[in-house]
Structure 1
C-alpha cells in the first residue's frame, strides 16, 4: 500500500521541501533549488489567479460551444464548412469540459475533504493528457478549415470537387482518432491505485506513476507526440494558410469581378466573402492563442532548468498556466466569431431565443 499525502506538482512556500508522487512513494524536492525569479508569494498568487481564470473561461467555453453545436445543427450540413464548424464546436466543448475539471482538481483541497479520491492526482489521466488530445483536435480542425478555404481561394472553380462531404467527414474522424486515441496510453504509465491518506486516515483512489522504463517511454512519447509533433504541424499549417488567406482576401478585394465571375448573384458573392473572413478570424485567433504555447514548449530545449521539476519551475508553471488560459480563450471564441461575421449563423442563433431579425 502506498502512502500518499499529496500528489501536487507545485511547491508550497510554507515548508522547506515539497513532494512528488512516484512508485516508491513520495519523493522530496528541495525548494531551495528554485531560482528566485518569482517569490513564493507572487508565484502562489499568479497560479491561483490563472487557475480561477481558466475555470471561468472554461465555463464560458462550455456554454458557447453548446450553442455553436445547436446552431450548426439548425443550419444544416448542405455546406462542408458547416460540418467543420460542428466538429470544431464538439472538440472545443470537450476541451472546455476537461479544463473545467482540471481547474477543479487543482483548486480543490483534497486534504480537507472526504472525497474517496485525490483530485490533483487523478487529473493526470483525466484532465492533462485528454486535454492535450482535444487541444490538438481543435488545432487540426482549425488547420483543415483554413486549408479548405485556401483551396477555395486558389481553385474557386474546382473546390466543390476537391472538398466533398465524404472527404470532410473522413478527415474529421481521422483527426479525432489520432488526436484523442493516443492520450489513453497514459493509463498504462499512470494507473489508478488505492493508496492510504494519513490526512483522511483511510484509503483513497489516486494515480501513482510506475517507476519503470515503460512509463517513461509512454510519458515522453505522449509529450513528444502532442507538444512537439502535432502542435508544430498544426501551427505551421495554420500560419501558412492564414498568410494565403490574407493574400487571397487582398486579391479578391482588388479583382472582385474576375474572382466572382462564376457567381450568379450578389448574395453568393457576399456569402463567399463572409465564410473566408470567418475562417480568417478563426485562424488568427488560434495563432494568437497557440503561438505562446509553442514558445513555452521550445524554451526547455535551450534552457534545461525551464521545467516543472527543476530550478525555473515557478516561471515554467506560470507560463504553462498562462498558455492554458490562452488555449481555453481560443476554445471559447468560436461563438463570438461566428456571430460577428456570419449573418445566417446570427439569424439562426437569435431565432433559438425567439428573436427575429
Structure 2
C-alpha cells in the first residue's frame, strides 16, 4: 500500500483560504479609497475652519450656536487626524524614507485620537438632536431646561468622557527612537509595552469606541431624529392665523428652520454611520470577514469605506449651514466679501 507523505508546508498550503479579492484589485481599490479620504478630509479641514470662524462672528448668545461651534471643532479635529493618517499610508506606498515609521506612528497619532474625536462628533450630534427634542416637547420650559451654562458643561463632559480615554493608547504603545538598519539611522516608531496591559487596553479601547459609543450614539440620534421629524410634521399643520403678531410668526419660522437644520445634520450622520455599524456586525454573523480569513481584503476595503463615510459626515456641515441658516449664510458671505455688512440686518434667522 502506497503512502503519500505530505510535508507541513504542503499541508498549510492546502488549508490556506484564498482571498476573494485578487492582490491587484485590492491594491487599486485601496489606493483609490486612500486618495478619496485624503481629498474629503482636506475639504473637511477647510469647511470646518470656516464654520468655526463664522460662528464666532455670529456670536454664542444662543445655546444652539455653542453646540454648532463645538461640533465644528470636533469635526475639524477628525479631518486633520484622518488627513494625517491617510498621508502616512501614502508615504508607505511611495516607499519614502522618513524619520518615523508611518504605519505604526499613525496608530497612536492618528487612528486612536481620530476615533475619539469621531465619537465626540457623534455624541455632540446626539446632544444637539436631544436639545431640539426638548424644545419641541417642552416649549414653555426650554429656557430653563437648556441654558448656556448647561450646554457648555455638557459639551465639556462629552469631550472629557468620549475623547480623553483615547489617550490611554500612549501608555501601552509609546513612541520611541529606534535604530533602523535599512536607513542606518534612528527613526521614531512605536515600541509596544511587553505586558498583559497592552492587550487589555487595546481591546478595551476598540470595544469602547467601536461598539459601545458607536451604537449608543447611533440609537440616540435615531430616536431623537424620529421625534424631531414627527414634531416638525406636527408644527407644519399649525396655521399662521394662530399667531397674533408677526413677531410670533417670525419666531415660529426661526424655530422650524433650526429644527430642519438639526434634522439634516442628524440624517447625514445616520446615513454615514449606519453602514459603519453594519460593517461592525457582519463578522459576528460571518466569521469569514475576520482579518485572518478568506474575506480579509474585502473586510479591509469595507473598513476603508466606513472611514470615508465618517469623513463625509465631518465635512458636510458647512454646506448644511449655508443651505438652511440665513443668518449663518449672510455672515459667511460677508466674511467672504460677497455681502455688504449693512445687509446683515435683514438676516435675523439662524
TM-score, normalised via structure 2 length: 0.89
Structure 1 stretch 282-291 or stretch 103-112: which is displaced more?
A: 103-112
The counterpart of 2:31, out of the listed 36, 48, 52, is: 48
Q: Distance between the aligned counterparts of 2:246 and 2:290, measured in 1?
A: 54
- Residue 149 of structure 1 corresponds to 132
Note closer, same or farther for the CA distance 1:259–1:247 as it changes in structure 2 (3 Å cut): farther
Q: Any conservation in 2 of the 1:68–1:89 contact (CA below 8 Å)?
A: yes
User: What is the aligned length?
Assistant: 328
The counterpart of 1:273, out of the listed 247, 251, 256, is: 256
Q: Distance between the aligned counterparts of 1:256 and 1:163, measured in 2?
A: 27
The counterpart of 1:331, out of the listed 304, 314, 338, is: 314
Q: Distance between the aligned counterparts of 1:320 and 1:238, measured in 2?
A: 22
Deviations 1:133-174 (A, max 9, x none): 000000000000001111111111111111111110000000
Q: Secondary structure at the match of 2:178?
A: strand
Q: Secondary structure at the match of 1:109?
A: helix
Question: Which runs of 5 or more structure 1 residues have no equivalent in the other structure?
Answer: 1-29
Q: Any conservation in 2 of the 1:111–1:200 contact (CA below 8 Å)?
A: no
Q: Any conservation in 1 of the 2:19–2:296 contact (CA below 8 Å)?
A: no
Larger radius of gyration: 2
Where do 1:5-20 residues align within 5 Å? none
Question: Which runs of 5 or more structure 2 residues have no equivalent in the other structure?
Answer: 1-12, 344-350
- Residue 14 of structure 1 corresponds to none
Bigger helix share: 2
Q: Distance between the aligned counterparts of 1:282 and 1:321, measured in 2?
A: 23
Where do 1:94-109 residues align within 5 Å? 94-109=77-92
Q: Secondary structure at the match of 1:327?
A: helix
Tell me, yes or no, if structure 1 residue 89 matches structure 2 residue 66: no
Structure 1 stretch 252-261 or stretch 201-210: which is displaced more?
A: 252-261
Structure 1 stretch 214-223 or stretch 113-122: which is displaced more?
A: 113-122
- Residue 347 of structure 2 corresponds to none
The counterpart of 1:186, out of the listed 169, 172, 186, is: 169
Structure 1 outlier segments of 4+, above 6 Å: 258-263
Deviations 1:71-97 (A, max 9, x none): 100111111000000000000000000
Where do 1:242-257 residues align within 5 Å? 242-257=225-240
The counterpart of 1:231, out of the listed 214, 221, 230, is: 214
- Residue 36 of structure 1 corresponds to 19
Q: Distance between the aligned counterparts of 1:118 and 1:137, measured in 2?
A: 28
Q: Secondary structure at the match of 2:264?
A: helix
Using the TM superposition, give the Cα deviation of residue 109 of structure 1 relative to its aligned residue in structure 2, in angstroms: 2.8
Tell me, yes or no, if structure 1 residue 291 matches structure 2 residue 269: no
Deviations 1:292-339 (A, max 9, x none): 111111122223342334442211110110000000000000100000
Tell me, yes or no, if structure 1 residue 166 matches structure 2 residue 166: no
- Residue 287 of structure 2 corresponds to 304
Q: Distance between the aligned counterparts of 2:318 and 2:332, measured in 1?
A: 10
TM-score, normalised via structure 1 length: 0.87
Give the superposed CA RMSD. 2.1
- Residue 206 of structure 1 corresponds to 189
Note closer, same or farther for the CA distance 1:341–1:227 as it changes in structure 2 (3 Å cut): same
Note closer, same or farther for the CA distance 1:331–1:83 as it changes in structure 2 (3 Å cut): same
The counterpart of 1:134, out of the listed 117, 134, 141, is: 117
